[in-house]
Amino acid sequence: MFRVRNSCSYYVKLDMSILIICCWTLIPNIGAYAIDERSFQYLNSISSEDWKRDLDFGIESVNRQKRLEGTLVKSGVIVEKGGISHTHLLDALPNEEAKMDNDVASKLLAASLYIFNSKCLPHGINGKDCETFLSNKSLPKGSELLQKCLRIIEKRRNGHNTFRRLLDRHYQDGIYQMLPLVSPLMVSKSLHNLSMKKNLEDKQRNLAVIQWTQFVEHDLSKPVVTTMRDGSHIECCDNNSFELVPRYRHPFCAPLIIRNDESQYAKVNCFNYVRSAVAVSTKCTFGAVEQLNQATSLLDLSQLYGFTDEAQKRMRTWTNGQIKFAAKISNIYNDELAVVPGDWSNYCAFKNPSMQTSQCFMAGDSRVNNSPLTISIYTLFMRNHNQIAQKLTNKYPLWQDEDIFKTAKAINIQIYRNIVFDEWLPTVLGEDVAVKMKEFSFSKESVDLDRISNEFGIAAMRFYMSMMPNFLQNFTEVKRVEYTTSGSLPQENGVIRNENLVSFLNQTYKPDLEYTPEQIDTILESILNQHAMKLDTIYEDSLIWNNFGVNRPTHGDLLAYDIQRGRDHGLRGYIDYLKLSVGQNIGSWKDLESFIEIDDVNVLKATYSNVENIDLLVGGMAEKKSLGAAVGPTFKYILAEQFSKIYQRQNHALDPILTDSVQFKKANAVELLCANSKLNNVPRNIFRLPSDKNPMLPCNEHVKLLRP
């Protein structure tokens, strides 16, 4: 069933990207699907006592895992500090609120799966029909689990919600069982074979596109892993990265396995993958559990300030409205991020404290130490908050710490949102879509404005991973250099590229650079002047492990992880979303050639058994790019759909009594960079490489607004 709006005719004569925007509501209503009457009558005839027994069975089955988990902990089958699994854990580290939600939702899921196997299947009711009924079946009144579920929903404000879906979930049993598709590791290996044929550099966009995309992703999307009941982290492989014997395998394990028929080197290699935590739906029912999104659904810098009140309290100094920082010298715009006090294992993946050669930084999100790109942008917004707080303190000496903090936070968020919608989003989606998206208004029937879509968080917003290079290069600014190449060293737009500064592989959650103010400036200079890689199906070597040798691997394969996560979350195949975005059916490999280059189509054809099996992430990255956009039509649709909802909400989310917000409304990315660093010049559009059309602007003319 579909709910169709009639307001599309206004844009019919414009290009397809605008038509997409005004027709977003041509999306199937999850839950509108109706089961046949015979199945309904049978399920509806089940007694309340049976429903209670089934729920009790689900609760007991989850509780029984404690015995297994105790064995695993005693046997050392848990994530070890500094290992590959620890690195990936920090990308998906759950907090206490997420663990509580997952505990309730896991019991509902176990009960639903038991009902499916004991009642639906024996009566010929398929998984989709069974789940549809269960998702509308309330829990037995008076049950303790119902009360816990209601309390979780009541506590939700903005974050810790379920992901929503653009299209129905896609599981083998209709509820939770992942489909038996080609190994994600084999997909990654096949796609990487294209790397020698590709022109790998993006000629227009720099690393700032990657840096900001990842930062925005941290703000809006954080799927987290399931943990053991005592909080221990689940490990699905042994210490040598080989598959565990069944008695040591946790039920939520779905490891990435490559076997001897898939590699010339090893019989079996294993990378840890733990299924994402689930959460109860907006109603306390059987069946309808979805993956949990620990992040908030607004652009609110929660990745800096914290997703919860407790996390935010940990970030504050409680003096003059500032957040914590490490002061090295007296100038506020040279401050560094605060260092993690005590146990650093929730922020960094060092093997032991003695190996920590530098600092492990703290923020509102465990992902702050992911790379030099993340550390530098978290630093910018930390400095910006404190600069604004200092300015407010000077202007309003009678204000209390709480008033200064809230106002500085709101202004910092407003500047951030300005840059996202006015500068970053046009670079990603193209100017036409970015403008029309802000003009478009949803109808009163709009729903799910407070949730992030699974397709956005798990696939489309991950496009930047394909654009990551292996190394961050070192650029030295020089004066009066023409926009040409001359001399023995390559010169680009007023800078000289000297050498590779750092390997991203070596810095993933192991920040061993000395992050002095000078080093942060050097990193920012590189971000502005270094080419991003082209968006395609290839992840650089620093993000995958392509040589499955007999020795223990040093890092995992992030493309394979991303593919596995999409399957874990029950995303449908790429061609379903292509149809959703452009309205065209894909029935054969030949049909894909209008959207994907023929070389890529041939690789996909050799990798996947059927065109219907192409993963959304892979197909979206392989698409030909839309005019003026960094992405193709499918990701463009998914991103625009989500940001339009965010834009609708964000206009009403700031405190209207702010006395100083007006003067900051015109603050842009150039001013943010110049006011919070010692850069001399910044390109007018920070997301494009410097050129004649994108000249460098002197920072001494663009700092007055933000500095005290």
Q: Which of 602, 470, 562 is nearest to 197 (CA)?
A: 602
Note whether 146 and 106 are same-domain residues: yes
Q: Is 257 helix (H, G, I), strand (E, B) or coil?
A: strand
Q: Are 335 and 384 in a shared domain? A: yes
Per-residue confidence band for 568, with pLDDT thresholds at 50, 70 and 90? very high
Domain boundary at 293, 323, 350, which? 293
Indicate whether 130 and 237 sit together in one domain: yes
- 437-441, 652-656, 664-668, 687-691: range with lowest mean pLDDT: 652-656
In a domain, 16, yes or no: no
State how far the Cα of 474 lies from the Cα of 527, in Å rounded to an integer.
Answer: 9
Domain end among 259, 293, 327: 293
Q: How far apart are CA 330 and CA 328, in angstroms?
A: 7
Look-up of token digits 């909400």? 649
Of the listed ranges 41-55, 208-222, 443-457, the least confidently predicted one is 443-457
Residues 520, 651, single domain; the answer is yes
In 276-371, where does DSSP find H-type helix? Answer: 302-305, 309-315
Q: Is the pLDDT of residue 416 over 80?
A: yes
Least confident of 86-90, 488-492, 622-626, 654-658: 488-492
Whole-angstrom CA distances from 270 to 219, 273, 545, 552, 596 are: 31, 9, 12, 10, 32
Looking at residues 677-700, what average pLDDT do you find?
94
Mean residue pLDDT of the chain comes to: 85
Count of CB atoms situated within 10 Å of the CB of 586: 21
17 belongs to a structural domain: no
My answer on whether 410 and 368 are in the same domain is yes
Residue 403 reports pLDDT greater than 70: yes
Dist CA 128 CA 572 (whole Å): 14
Query: pLDDT band at 497, cuts 50/70/90?
Result: low
Residue 141 lies in a domain: yes
Query: For the ranges 13-27, 55-69, 264-278, 647-661, which has the lowest average pLDDT?
Result: 13-27
pLDDT at 253 over 80: yes
Q: How far, in Å, CA of 543 to CA of 538, rounded?
A: 10
On whether both 403 and 532 belong to a single domain, the answer is yes
259: amino acid identity, one letter: R
Specify whether 652 is located in the same domain as 681.
yes
Q: What's residue 4's pLDDT?
A: 30
pLDDT at 36 over 70: yes
More confident residue, 166 or 498: 166
pLDDT mean over 501-524? 88
In the predicted structure, residue 278 carries a pLDDT above the cut 90:
yes
Q: Residue 503: its pLDDT value, please? A: 85
| 533 SS3 class | strand
Domain match, 423 and 284 both: no
Is the pLDDT confidence value at 263 over 50? yes
Q: Distance of CA 371 to CAs 51, 250, 503, 677, Å?
A: 49, 30, 10, 19
Q: Tell me, yes or no, whether 381 and 309 share the same domain.
A: yes
The answer as to whether 48 is a domain residue is yes
- The answer on pLDDT for 3 being more than 80 is no
| 14 — pLDDT class (breaks 50, 70, 90) | very low
Residue 520 sits in a domain whose CATH number is 1.10.640.10
pLDDT mean over 679-683: 94
Instruction: Examine the fold and report which residue of 272, 293, 314 is the final residue of a domain before the chain moves on.
Output: 293
Angle at CA of residue 169, ends 163 and 171, nearest 5°: 125
The helix/strand count (H/E) of the chain reads as 25, 14
- Between CA 450 and CA 621 the distance in angstroms is 27
Given this model, what pLDDT does residue 353 score?
63
* Dihedral sign of CA atoms 69, 70, 72, 77 in order: positive
Alpha carbon separation from 185 to 95, 192, 271 (Å, rounded):
29, 11, 10
User: What's the average model confidence in pLDDT over 215-228?
Assistant: 97
Asked if residue 408 belongs to a domain, the reply is yes
Q: Which residue, among 162, 166, 13, has the nearest Cα to 641 in the 3D structure?
A: 166
Residue-wise pLDDT tens digits, 297-342: 999 999 999 998 899 999 999 999 999 998 766 566 678 999 998 8
State residue 488's pLDDT score: 38
Q: Per-residue pLDDT for 656 more than 50?
A: no
Q: Do 282 and 376 fall into the same domain?
A: no
Q: Where are the alpha helices (DSSP H) in 156-196?
A: 184-192
pLDDT above 70 covers what percent of the chain?
A: 81
247 & 283 share domain: yes
Q: What is the pLDDT of residue 673?
A: 95
What are the CB-based long-range contacts (under 8 Å, 24+) for 187-190?
187/559, 187/560, 187/563, 187/607, 187/608, 187/615, 187/618, 188/539, 188/544, 188/546, 188/557, 188/559, 188/560, 188/563, 189/262, 189/546, 190/603, 190/606, 190/607
Residue 486's pLDDT band, with cuts at 50, 70 and 90, is very low
Q: Would you state the pLDDT for residue 32?
A: 44
pLDDT at 174 over 50: yes
Q: For the chain, how are helix, strand and coil distributed in percent, rounded to 5?
A: 45, 10, 45
What value does the mean pLDDT take over residues 46-70? Answer: 94
Which of 463, 509, 419, 158 minimizes the C-alpha distance to 305?
158
pLDDT-based confidence at residue 12 (cuts at 50, 70, 90): very low
Q: Span 533-551, mean pLDDT? A: 73
Contacts of 378 (CB under 8 A, 6+ apart): 215, 303, 304, 337, 361, 363, 368
Overall average pLDDT of the 55-82 stretch: 93
List Cβ neighbours of 413 (8 Å cut-off, separation of 6 or more): 299, 300, 301, 654
39: its two tokens? 């199945």
Ranking 143-152, 166-175, 219-228, 485-494 by mean pLDDT, the lowest is: 485-494
181 domain-assigned: no
Count how many domains the chain has.
2
pLDDT band, very low/low/confident/very high, at 8 (cuts 50, 70, 90): very low
- pLDDT at residue 257 greater than cutoff 50: yes
How far is C-alpha 691 from the chain's CA centre?
31
The string of pLDDT tens digits covering residues 185-203 is 889 888 887 666 566 889 9
Does residue 184 surpass a pLDDT of 50? yes
Reply yes or no on whether the pLDDT at 11 is more than 60: no
Domain of 54, in residue numbers: 37-155+224-293
Residue 30 lies in a domain: no
C-alpha distance from residue 227 to each of 218, 235, 251, 348, 538 (Å)? 21, 10, 11, 18, 31
Q: What local confidence, expressed as pLDDT, does residue 252 receive?
A: 96
pLDDT at position 481, please?
41
Quick check: is 579 in a domain?
no
Same domain, 242 and 110: yes
Residue 319's pLDDT is 95
Question: Residue 539: what pLDDT?
Answer: 85
Q: How many CA atoms lie within 13 A of 507 on its CB side?
A: 22
